[in-house]
Amino acid sequence: MSSSNHPTSNIEDAFSSNFLDFIPASPDYVPASPRKIYSSSSNSFGIVPIASPSLSLFHDDPYVKVMHVYYAKKSPIPPLIITPPSSMPKPHEFFLPEELLSPKKQRHDQSSSSTSILPQIIKIGESSRKTSLEQHKKQIEEIQNHLDKLSLDRIEHIENKIEGLGQGRVIIQQDFDTLETELQQAHAQITKLYRKQMGSNHKISLARFKITKLEYIINDIQIHHQVDIENLQDALNELKNN
């Protein structure tokens, strides 16, 4: 039914004569075969072009052959990238990290953790407070015992001092009495000398010298005696205050 002048026959003849020249342009394809679709050695993408004659029911159609040549010259369509199982995300990676959680969630977690830790902190604080109170109590008892011992020693020292002052006071009083007796005797001698009107001025001068000397001694004794009395009074006041 077709003539040699028909356009379709011309295209078919031209394509059939040059069909083998177009095959190398697409090394991934092989001639139509009912069982073999593509070459696994050179096709790294794992896909079959749309214009492959093996997939078309009209592989003898000249239009399909022209489309096959057209797609063979064009760059193939990029294949679908299939992720291997080893690089697939793991289930635990779908959970959000703690930094990306909402502030409300973080506050809830912090409050729950602080609530669980709070009783332990309270117990530790109570135990440390009891320990410090016991240590302070021991220190206070030691200080009180030391003060008690110190006060007793101090009282004994003051008593010894008072006794010494008392003994010194007796000695001073005896000396004072002796000097007073000697002074009276000197006055008596002077009076006697005056009464007898001793002619010797030497004896009178000597007597006056002795009297003056005795007066100085008596004044010194009185001053020391007054100082001892004041010291004794201070010691008694200190003992009363303790």
Q: What digits encode the pLDDT tens for the residues 1-44?
A: 444 455 445 554 544 444 444 444 444 444 444 444 444 444 44
Is 91 a residue whose pLDDT tops 70?
Answer: no
Q: Which helix or strand (DSSP H or E) is residue 71 part of? A: helix 62-73
d(CA 6, CA 13): 11
Greater model confidence, 174 or 73? 174
Query: Is 167 in a helix, a strand, or coil?
Result: helix
- Lowest mean per-residue pLDDT among 21-25, 68-72, 219-223, 235-239: 21-25
Give the range among 68-72, 90-94, 174-178 with minimum mean pLDDT. Answer: 90-94
Q: Per the confidence metrics, is the pTM higher than 0.95?
A: no
d(Cα 111, Cα 160) in Å, to the nearest integer? 72
> Can you read off the two tokens belonging to residue 57?
């029911």
pLDDT at 42: 44
Q: Note the pLDDT tens digit of each residue in 113-147.
A: 555 566 666 666 666 666 777 777 787 777 767 66
